[in-house]
Amino acid sequence: MAARGRLLAGAAFALGGGFGLYQTLQHRLKTREHLAKQEPAQLPEGSLQLTLYQYKTCPFCSKVRAFLDYHGLPYEIVEVNPVMRKEIKFSSYRKVPILLTNTGNSLQLNDSSVIISAVKTYLISRRKSLDEIVTFYPAMKAVNDQGKEVTEYGNKYWLMLDEMETQQVYPIKEMLVEEIKWRKWVDDWLVHLISPNVYRTPREALASFDYIVREGKFGTMEGFFAKYVGALAMFFIGKRLKSRHHLQDNVREDLYEAADDWVKAIGKHRLFMGGSQPNLADLAVYGVLRVMEGLEAFDDMMTHTKIQPWYHRMETAIKEAVITNQHQLHLPV
């Protein structure tokens, strides 16, 4: 039974189901370390070398990949088995994404928003070391809405820049305020719409777990169990998540409203929230929504909201950035 519980939890985490399933199966969350030197996973010395530990279908991992791809940062991927998680046994932090960085020594970054803010700060402000930058994102104990103790990270939506650097990135103060607001909206609201929508019906839950098993790192028996037992369990847990997050009876309506709220915030005169180019909020929204591609919830969202033009612009912007980077590194496209 314990093995089955671990398998179900791992499969659910792979497509964001952990938002409720983890709290359902675990009575307590342990405080995690924010960063640590990792001897078993030393990276070769160089400039900025990155290794991303992920579940491919995890919204938070997809958010980090969108950021890295758009900024032309090469990185290695280690796909983590959602059940055993042996690939991250070196870490006391047992969630993904985990980003190992090397700028002369190896450093572990946890939490998708911290990863993005810290690396972006490093790219802009090279006079600060990455080791120094991550100290501005301290781990703090907090109690969530369910009364459980969790670890949060201070300042995680802020870039640690001086006044001149801030002026260069955000010429108008409102640009910074807007970006932070919507990055937080992604973590506080948008991600919580994924699981209830992709597990909305037994048929959709089965299709979602088929996708998770196909794209993830499962053994044969693990995959079989995850697909059929996990799908059934997550259908019922999806109902619980709907109640916890106060969603409408038809959870699609919340997804549609969120998509249209985002488009409305961008307005008619900007290609992206960042203007002519995506900013960190654009990349976060795109990364989270991307995990639904190929599922009924994604098709419905594209049909019943105004988000499609922006979404396709994001696809193009990231693809162009990847191609440009591959040409610069002389890699096959």
> Catalytic residue numbers?
55, 58, 60-61
Distance CA 221, CA 246 (A): 36
Closest of 55, 43, 41, 45 to residue 11, by C-alpha: 55
Contact 84, 37 (CB under 8 A): no
CB 17 within 8 A of CB 237: yes
Contacts with 67 (C-beta within 8 Å, 6 or more apart), sequence order: 115, 116, 119, 120, 280, 283, 284, 287
Q: Are 207 and 296 in contact (CB under 8 A)?
A: yes
Q: What dihedral angle (degrees, nearest 10) is formed by the CA atoms of 52, 57, 61, 65?
A: 70
Strand-strand pairing, 76-79 and 49-54: parallel
Q: Rounded to whole angstroms, how far apart are CA atoms 40 and 38?
A: 6
